[in-house]
A and B are shown apart, each in its own frame.
Chain A
Amino acid sequence: MELIVYGIINSITLSLVSLGFTLVYSISRVPNFAHGALYITSGYLTWTFLDKFAGFPYPLAILAGIGITSIVGAMIYQFILVRIRGMEISEIIATYAIGLAILEGLRWGGLRGMTFTLPAFFTGSVNILGASVDYQRLIIVGAGLLTFALLYLFTRYTKIGLAFRGIAQDERAAMMLGINSDMTAVVSLAIGSALAGFAAILLLPLGNIVVETGYNVLIFAIAVCVIGGLGSWGGVIVASFIIGFAQILTEAFISAHYQMVVALLAIIITLLVKPSGIFGKQKELEERV
């Protein structure tokens, strides 16, 4: 019972973390290797606001943190990626380099040790089906579900959301219909970064803000996206449940050290069995047969 509760929480955590990555990939076709860095940036910014400016209200700090992260994301596209659009090798190298620069820069700037923590929204815990769950985790689950719902509504019912889907399906056709592909890509990076930041705000109170988390987040986000099918939204949710439960089970029965091994094994099995992922798009399959 405990395992199921923790598994669900862990899965929703994972999907929150990976939504930003998959959103960016599905719309701009840029594998955003700076995802983990943006995640940490948001946490660090929020911490800075709280710590350096005494009396700064927590919600405002959060908003500022997410907002700045999202601007950073948009700027990454606007000033760097837009110039190398379509050159896959350069895109990968550039996003990876930016991510490393941010993470290692933060580390150099003093983001080390245990002093960097965000406070939980509410302290305390409840007992659900025999498992003790603190409020923060409940908020994560709630916020995760809310995010899915909002994203769903956003892509169905808003103009820019529909433009997103158009670009994701067929960039050229969408461009012909008057959708500005660069603009949507900027917005997608902004939203993707904001999602990463949002996930960070929710998750970081559970631990410390450390640079290593940035790498872990990137890796788990990628693992979830590859398994679900790169650029597939439904896939993200299914895949995060698969990895989420696999992790909880390995943690319970083997050792927590193997979480990353599980992620990598899952990627490799996916690549061997069904390369396009669980919900891989037909188009991609066709390209690769």
Chain B
Amino acid sequence: MRKERIDRGLKVRTEGIYAINSAREILYLMGPRLLLIAGLLALPFVFEFAPYWKRVINIMCAYALLAIAFDFLANYVGLVCLGGAFFTGIGGYFAAIYNVNLGLPIYLSIPLATVSGALLCTFFLLPCLPLRGVYFAIVTLMYPLLFTRIIEALDIFGGTNGITGLDSFPNPYLEHYAIIIIALVFLFGMRRFVNQDVGLVLRGVKDNDQSVKASGINVTRMRIIAVFVASFIGCFAGAYIAHLYMWAGISLFALDFSIIPIASVVIGGGGTLVGAAIGAFILVPLSEILRAFGTFRIVIYCIVLTGFIVFKSEGIMIYLQRKYHQFERWVKV
């Protein structure tokens, strides 16, 4: 008998290409994914008797979406978005306007808010897209603060009170499964997207935009596509949250929506997308436990986040992945 790593014989030639020849090996590869999907789908039932925590599931998935959007932008396109709250705010307000002011039903207001919000966000971010570097971070940092001020100052969209009276979801299970399924769809969809040819071009833009230009591709256009995709995800989360709370107010532009996704990505492991979601699944419940601390939570996130960036920059997900692949088993010689 000797020990052998269980991925031996599976990985051929390169990362990501596998030779599978038994059900066990399929399980080895698919196991973690199935576990994640099944786990998420089972959550509402697990917390059947803890209604407070059932609500946390929804928020958690919304944050996971935001984290995926951030991870995609930062680690696949090279744009650091310091204002995830911009997306949620725009999405949420659109949903409120469609639902309350125009009287559209919830199953129309959310998709419409997502699309129009994404268009508006992309439009607002257009000026900084031809440039590289910190400009995107700067502008995204400013927008949420700016919109808060404008809404307060002009007293539009309900001013500081916000828009109230949004429709809630018709039943709690729909509420849970709408966001869980969409989070899963986006999670696996984005994983696929970044490995498609378009996704590869976007990753090229991050690595070396000069070379992409020399290959005859309009870098700005690629960034526009990326920002649209990310703000699409973010605006969906925003519209969902607005309907969940039946309220859209300036707290949709709050710092939490910017910093928790960033912290999730750093803690979960940047560049993996799954890591971003897992980070959110860890952080959001944690932040509910720490609710008593108020704004001090943000301090905690920031310290943890900085610690991870400095000391464990790979994040939890990549660490676990490595450990998983290093599992050993006994084989007959």
Q: Are A and B in contact, CB atoms below 8 Å, in the complex?
A: yes
Q: What is A's interface to B at a CB cutoff of 8 Å?
A: 31, 33, 79-80, 83-84, 88-90, 92-94, 96-98, 100-101, 104-105, 107-108, 215, 218-219, 222-223, 226, 230, 255, 257-258, 260-261, 263-264, 267-268, 271-272, 275, 287-288
The answer, yes or no, to whether B119 is at the interface (CB within 8 Å) is: no
List B contacts of A93 (CB < 8 A).
74, 80, 262, 266, 305, 309
> Known contacts being A93-B80, A94-B310, A226-B138, is A104 close to B299, with CB within 8 Å?
yes
Task: Judge whether A258 and B145 touch: CB under 8 Å.
Answer: no
List B contacts of A267 (CB < 8 A).
138-139, 142
Task: Judge whether B150 and A261 touch: CB under 8 Å.
Answer: yes
With both beta carbons as reference points, the residue of chain B lying nearest to A109 in the complex is identified as B296
Task: Judge whether A104 and B131 touch: CB under 8 Å.
Answer: no
With both beta carbons as reference points, the residue of chain A lying nearest to B293 in the complex is identified as A108
**1/0 contact string of B53-76 vs chain A (CB within 8 Å):** 000000000000000000000110
Main secondary structure of the interface of A (DSSP, over half): helix
Task: Judge whether A104 and B149 touch: CB under 8 Å.
Answer: no
Task: Judge whether B310 and A84 touch: CB under 8 Å.
Answer: yes
Task: Judge whether A101 and B295 touch: CB under 8 Å.
Answer: no
Q: What is B's interface to A at a CB cutoff of 8 Å?
A: 74-75, 78, 80, 82, 127-128, 130-135, 137-139, 141-143, 145-146, 149-150, 152-154, 255, 259, 262-263, 266, 270, 293-296, 298-299, 301-303, 305-306, 309-310, 313
> Known contacts being A100-B255, A101-B299, A101-B303, is A271 close to B149, with CB within 8 Å?
no
Kindly identify which residue among B130, B137, B139 contacts A92, using a CB–CB cutoff of 8 Å. Answer: B137
With both beta carbons as reference points, the residue of chain B lying nearest to A263 in the complex is identified as B142
Task: Judge whether A108 and B295 touch: CB under 8 Å.
Answer: yes
Query: How far is the CB of B311 from the nearest CB of chain A, in Å?
Result: 8
Which among B132, B153, B263, B302 has the highest number of chain A CB atoms within 10 Å?
A: B302
Task: Judge whether A101 and B298 touch: CB under 8 Å.
Answer: yes
Q: In whole angstroms, how far apart are the Cα atoms of A255 and B306 in the complex?
A: 39
Contacts between the two chains (Cβ within 8 Å), count: 126
List A contacts of B141 (CB < 8 A).
33, 96, 218-219, 222
List B contacts of A80 (CB < 8 A).
306, 309-310
Q: In whole angstroms, how far apart are the Cα atoms of A268 and B139 in the complex?
A: 8
Q: Lowest 6 A-B CB distances belong to which pairs?
A: A257-B153, A101-B302, A97-B302, A108-B296, A104-B298, A271-B127
List B contacts of A255 (CB < 8 A).
153
Task: Judge whether A260 and B149 touch: CB under 8 Å.
Answer: yes
Q: In whole angstroms, how far apart are the Cα atoms of A31 and B139 in the complex?
A: 13
Given contacts A96-B262, A271-B135, 10 further A-B contacts (CB under 8 A): A80-B309, A89-B74, A93-B262, A97-B303, A100-B259, A108-B293, A219-B141, A257-B154, A264-B143, A275-B135
Task: Judge whether A89 and B80 touch: CB under 8 Å.
Answer: yes
A-B contact pairs, 19 of them (CB 8 A): A80-B309, A80-B310, A84-B309, A84-B313, A88-B133, A89-B80, A93-B266, A94-B306, A94-B309, A105-B296, A219-B142, A222-B142, A226-B138, A260-B145, A261-B149, A263-B142, A271-B131, A275-B135, A288-B131
With both beta carbons as reference points, the residue of chain B lying nearest to A219 in the complex is identified as B142
With both beta carbons as reference points, the residue of chain B lying nearest to A79 in the complex is identified as B310
Query: How far is the CB of B27 from the nearest CB of chain A, in Å?
Result: 35
Kindly identify which residue among B82, B139, B142, B294 contacts A96, using a CB–CB cutoff of 8 Å. Answer: B82
List B contacts of A226 (CB < 8 A).
135, 138
List A contacts of B259 (CB < 8 A).
97, 100
List A contacts of B293 (CB < 8 A).
108
Q: In whole angstroms, how far apart are the Cα atoms of A243 and B113 in the complex?
A: 35
List B contacts of A271 (CB < 8 A).
127-128, 131, 135, 139
List B contacts of A33 (CB < 8 A).
82, 137, 141
With both beta carbons as reference points, the residue of chain A lying nearest to B294 in the complex is identified as A108
Task: Judge whether B302 and A107 touch: CB under 8 Å.
Answer: no
> Known contacts being A84-B313, A215-B145, is A104 close to B135, with CB within 8 Å?
no
Q: In whole angstroms, how far apart are the Cα atoms of A9 and B196 in the complex?
A: 55
Q: In whole angstroms, how far apart are the Cα atoms of A210 and B35 in the complex?
A: 47
Query: How far is the CB of A287 from the nearest CB of chain B, in Å?
Result: 7
Task: Judge whether A258 and B153 touch: CB under 8 Å.
Answer: yes
With both beta carbons as reference points, the residue of chain B lying nearest to A268 in the complex is identified as B127
With both beta carbons as reference points, the residue of chain B lying nearest to A30 in the complex is identified as B134
Task: Judge whether A288 and B306 touch: CB under 8 Å.
Answer: no
Q: In whole angstroms, how far apart are the Cα atoms of A90 and B134 in the complex?
A: 12
Q: In whole angstroms, how far apart are the Cα atoms of A268 and B298 in the complex?
A: 29
